[in-house]
Amino acid sequence: MNGAHSAALSVVRSLMIDPCGHCDAREIGLCAAMPDEFIVQLSTIMRVIRLDPGTALISEGDDARHYFTLTSGSAKLYKTLADGRQQIIGFLFTGDFVGFGARDLYPYTVEALSKATACRFQRGQLEGVLHAFPELEFRLRGMASDEIAQAHDHMMALGRKTAKERVAGFLMHLSERMRRLGQPSNPMTLPMTRSDIAQFLGLTLETVSRVFSDLKAEGAISTGPGRAVTLDLQRLTAIDGEGIG
Amino acid sequence: MNGAHSAALSVVRSLMIDPCGHCDAREIGLCAAMPDEFIVQLSTIMRVIRLDPGTALISEGDDARHYFTLTSGSAKLYKTLADGRQQIIGFLFTGDFVGFGARDLYPYTVEALSKATACRFQRGQLEGVLHAFPELEFRLRGMASDEIAQAHDHMMALGRKTAKERVAGFLMHLSERMRRLGQPSNPMTLPMTRSDIAQFLGLTLETVSRVFSDLKAEGAISTGPGRAVTLDLQRLTAIDGEGIG
DNA sequence: CGCTGGGTTGATCGCACTCAACCCGCGTGG
DNA sequence: CCACGCGGGTTGAGTGCGATCAACCCAGCG
């Protein structure tokens, strides 16, 4: 392979997974550890989308014509009830695939939390590439499986945990997520507001704020400046109560 | 293909998806509409498991050595917290795949609600067959994707819906599920107890019982004999409040 | 300067939880 | 035969956690 080709590949890779400077060789996103041939094929069908904070990548009810991967920044994925109540299903970070769960219409909205970029793929075209690369199909199933495991944890939290347990568990999960992304994990900077956290945890923003205050008071976390949080994992683990009996 | 071979295949098929007599050609489970060659391969690596009510197919924390498909009966899939609180993640019926979300250990318990049968596959062996049949890999991803969509709906219910909305939505979803399985859907017979419903909906059994009484009082459902329920879909839909704003 | 979004804290309310009593049907055994 | 236990279900009384309503602070910004 010549130098120009290799350079083009690296551009494509960096479009699909933003070089964050902290990432090592961990598996992130669709491209990691895939053959150049695959990268090239993907590059011919993808389009880069740039998002400002608060703008929607996809909207609930729209025709589900595309799949995406988030390549930088963060986003929230949420559903809305007829009367306006909203539930954030999950937060998305670099490397996350967007499109699971969609049949003909998107059953959720995805909205950027910060400035973010995404790769957009025509559904049929990506399916075509997947057929040509069964390894990718396998990995995508793995990602779906992981998302299911995450969803299970979250259902447990929403159905059975107290407000304090939910917040403690959330902070630890988020920290672990940041660590895997190669970003600062403790202290870490929250990319979302109290309201977002509340809508994710099935609480109100007031309750979340109160729990943060309580956790600070008992020394399980400390906050600031800005949205920085420092975790005392020991105490948070004791509060959370995760795990089998 | 000769008659004996064909007969053997039909036996295998019936092992993997119990012939319920009501099913038409809908896609259920792994085998539906797959080539005979695939059925034969699967049959060499599967083992049939028979379950009595209340017995566990897999237990949280065990080594995740197998995948399963439920081929008859029904089951509940649940997680347990350290102090014993339980959350039912979902109910399983004929054709459902069991194993998504598992990495090295099973993160949940699966327990039969009624007499049930399942097909058990060594994980590695099933993965091998999947590599040989990319079409299956594709379908499995589809099943995972559907499970994610279901999980999203359930998170919305757990996080944002009132007790009455949760029960109304649950009954309608269950009825729709029964219909797709070719079983009586209205009236239908609940395969689970009030306590199971409560653990699924993030409520207590008393609350579920009260809501059933309320729904009866306002004519949205009628019950009996036994666990039979008749739904007034009109009224239940009005109560549920599903859908986008 | 005032406005807006994000955050904290206080006072009160109400939905669902908790504790408790009771019913029914069923299987088991004295 | 009835007694008994047990799982499943219903209903009542009282409680509490988190929601609601409201006031206020701060920082950023046009």
Inter-chain CB pairs, A–B, below 8 Å: 151
- What mean pLDDT, rounded, does chain B reach? 87
Phi then psi dihedrals of residue A184, to 5 deg? -55, 130
Confidence at residue B33, expressed as pLDDT on a 0 to 100 scale: 63
* A169 token code pair: 């568990």
- Residue found by looking up tokens 């993640």 in the block: B89
pLDDT per position as a tens digit, A141-195? 999 999 999 999 999 999 999 999 999 999 999 999 999 998 999 999 999 999 9
Confidence at residue A32, expressed as pLDDT on a 0 to 100 scale: 65
Q: Do A101 and B146 touch (CB under 8 A)?
A: yes
pLDDT per position as a tens digit, B188-234? 999 999 999 999 999 999 999 999 999 999 999 999 888 999 999 99
For B127, the closest chain A residue by CA position comes to A138
- The CA distance from A35 to A217, in Å, is 51
The gap between A114 CA and C13 C1' (Å) is: 37
Please give the average per-residue pLDDT across A1-26, as a whole number: 47
Task: Identify whether A187 is preceded by a cis peptide bond (ω within 30 of 0).
Answer: yes
Burial class (CB in 10 A: 0-12, 13-18, 19+), B95: buried
Confidence at residue B196, expressed as pLDDT on a 0 to 100 scale: 98
**Residue positions counted in chain B:** 245
Please give the average per-residue pLDDT across B3-17, as a whole number: 53
- What mean pLDDT, rounded, does chain A reach? 87
Of B134, B170, B242, give the one whose Cα is nearest residue A140. B134
Q: Do A81 and B156 touch (CB under 8 A)?
A: yes
CB neighbour list of residue A213: distance below 8 Å, 6 or more residues apart: none
DSSP element (H, E) containing B54: none
Confidence at residue B217, expressed as pLDDT on a 0 to 100 scale: 97
pLDDT per position as a tens digit, A198-235? 999 999 999 999 999 999 999 999 998 999 999 999 99
Confidence at residue A183, expressed as pLDDT on a 0 to 100 scale: 93
Type of residue at B164: K
Q: Do B107 and A149 touch (CB under 8 A)?
A: yes
- The CA distance from A150 to A130, in Å, is 24
Q: What percent of chain B has pLDDT over 70?
A: 84
Rounded to the nearest angstrom, the minimum Cα separation between A2 and chain B is 33
- The answer to whether A203 and A165 have CB atoms below 8 angstroms apart is no
Ranking A207-211, B14-18, B26-30, B36-40 by mean pLDDT, the lowest is: B14-18
B160 contact residues in A (CB cutoff 8 A): 81, 85-87, 202
pLDDT at position B21 over 50: no
pLDDT at position B20 over 60: no
Please give the average per-residue pLDDT across A113-134, as a whole number: 89
Transcribe A50-117 into DSSP letters: EE-TT-EEE-TTSB--EEEEEEES-EEEEEE-TTS-EEEEEEE-TT-EE-TT-SSB-SSEEEESSSEE
Q: Is the CB of A205 under 7 A from strand C?
A: yes
- The answer to whether A163 and A211 have CB atoms below 8 angstroms apart is yes
**Residue positions counted in chain A:** 245
- The CA distance from A100 to A140, in Å, is 10
The beta-strand segments (E) located in chain B are 46-51, 56-58, 66-72, 75-80, 86-92, 97-98, 109-112, 116-122, 188-189, 221-223, 228-231
pLDDT per position as a tens digit, A14-73? 545 543 333 333 345 666 666 777 777 777 888 889 999 999 999 999 999 999 999 889
Give the nearest partner residue to A152 out of B79, B81, B160, using CB atoms: B79
Q: Do A244 and B80 touch (CB under 8 A)?
A: yes
For B109, the closest chain A residue by CA position comes to A244
For A144, the closest chain B residue by CA position comes to B144
B202 contact residues in A (CB cutoff 8 A): 158-160
The residues with which A143 forms a beta bridge, in sequence order, are: none
User: Which spans in B21-96 are helix H?
Assistant: 36-45
Give the nearest partner residue to B154 out of A140, A145, A155, using CB atoms: A155
